[in-house]
Each structure stands twice: as structure tokens, then as C-alpha cells.
Amino acid sequence: METTAMHIANGIVDGPVSAVFAVLAVVALAFCVRKARNDLDERLAPMAGLVAAFIFAVQMLNFQVLPGVSGHLLGGTLAVILVGPWVGALCVSTVLIVQCLLFADGGLTALGLNVTNMALLGTAAGYLLVAGLLRVLPRNARGLAITAFVASVVSVVVASQGFVLEYALGGTTELSLPWVSGTMAVSHTLIGIGEGLIAATTVATVAKVRPDLVYALRRFRRAPIAAEMGVKA
């Protein structure tokens, strides 16, 4: 079977399933665009460009996992922490679309699958973990680094299992589903650890130098004690 440099290749998942996830991706991205308008300002807009460029660079490091499927750093959690979930999903999606159309990284018919897994599932899982962890960890560079590492590992594995679901619905090869799931989980756990280290180092550095540029630090602030106890001022 012919392999590609990145992502899911054409023909790994059949046409009908690929089409369904393409529609799902378009609808979800349209919703992200609508929500992102509330977040974008003179501070977040240039940061989004930098995040997209950084994700593009780190995604050039890829590792063959299955025939026609490769694993690589995703950057979803990093994007969530720096620019938020809506803009973050759009950053990752932009990178995936550019890679597909200009560099033939990933199949064109599988673009919806790749966007769903990496830009939507990956960032959603990362955002939920970041939101939860920053409610219990300190809002400083160290706490942010721990959050970035844990969320990165989990979000990468979640994204990989998105492919397993798609393969279960419309896989075209004879590889067994348990084997595909296990292989994707193990390989992407290792990839997630690498991504976690990169994300933790990056966000900790930014938080030390310019904490005002870190979306997560601005968004997830501790509520006043009176508010947490339900006491009105």
C-alpha cells in the first residue's frame, strides 16, 4: 500500500465515511469562526499567526505508524493554551489545509478526517484538560507547564483514537481493529510525551516573559472566595 508523508492517505477510509466527516469538519469550523470573532483582538491576532507557523514547523516531524498513516506532533494543546480553543482549532485546521493542498501531506479526500481528528478532537480534549487542571494547579509557569504536558499527551492519544473510530466505520484494509487501536494508542502516547515536553517548555517560557499573551492564564482565573461559596457581594 502506498504511504504518505503525513496524516491519513486517500483510500484508507472509504468515500461515504470520509464525506460525512468532511461535512462535520466544515460545520464545526464554521462554528469556530463564529466564536473566534469574540476572542480576536490586537493581542490575539498576531499570536494566532505565530502559533500556526510554529505548529506547521513541528508537524514536519512525522513517524510512520501504519500503512498510509503517520504520526506527528499535533500542537492542539499548545494552541489552546496560547490562543484559546476556537482560534486554536482554526490554527491547526489552517496548517492541515495548507499541508494538504500545497505539499500533498495527507489525502484530499481524507482532509475532513484529518481536520476532525487533529484540529477538532485534539484541541477539544486539550481544552477540557487545560480548563480542569488550571482550576487546581497554580497559575504560574510551572503549573502551566504541567498542564501543557498532561493535556498534550492525552489529546494526542484522543486524536489517534478518532482515526480508529473512522477506520471502524469505513476502513478499507484488512487490519484488525484491536491491533489498529493498540498500535495507534501506544505510538501516539510516545509522540504525545514528545509533544508535551515541547508544549510545556514553550508555554512556560512565554508565561515567564509575557504572561498577558497566554490565553489560558487570562481565561481561567480563580474566582473570588465569596463567589466560589455562592455569596453575593
Full set of structural domains in the chain with CATH? 15-219 (1.10.1760.20)
What pTM was computed for the model?
Answer: 0.85
Rounded CA separation 98/84 (Å) = 21
> For residue 65, which phi and psi values (nearest 5 degrees)?
-115, -55
Instruction: Answer whether 180's CB lies under 8 Å from 167's CB.
Output: yes
Instruction: Answer whether 196's CB lies under 8 Å from 148's CB.
Output: yes
Which pLDDT belongs to residue 6? 40
Rounded CA separation 135/231 (Å) = 19
Q: Which amino acid is at 207?
A: A
C-alpha cell at 173: 484494509
SS3 86: helix
Which pLDDT belongs to residue 30? 97
Which pLDDT belongs to residue 1? 37
Residue-by-residue pLDDT tens, the chain, 233 positions: 333 334 677 888 999 999 999 999 999 999 999 999 988 888 888 999 999 999 998 877 666 655 655 566 789 999 999 999 999 999 999 999 998 888 877 788 899 999 999 999 999 999 999 999 999 999 889 999 999 999 999 999 999 999 999 999 998 888 889 998 998 898 889 888 888 999 999 999 999 999 989 999 988 765 433 333 343 43
Which pLDDT belongs to residue 90? 96
Rounded CA separation 231/208 (Å) = 34
Which pLDDT belongs to residue 233? 35
Closest CA to 64 of 131, 145, 134, 6: 6
Would you list the DSSP string of 135-176?
Answer: TTS-SSHHHHHHHHHHHHHHHHHHHHHHHHHHHHHHB-S---
Instruction: Answer whether 104's CB lies under 8 Å from 81's CB.
Output: no
Which pLDDT belongs to residue 76? 93
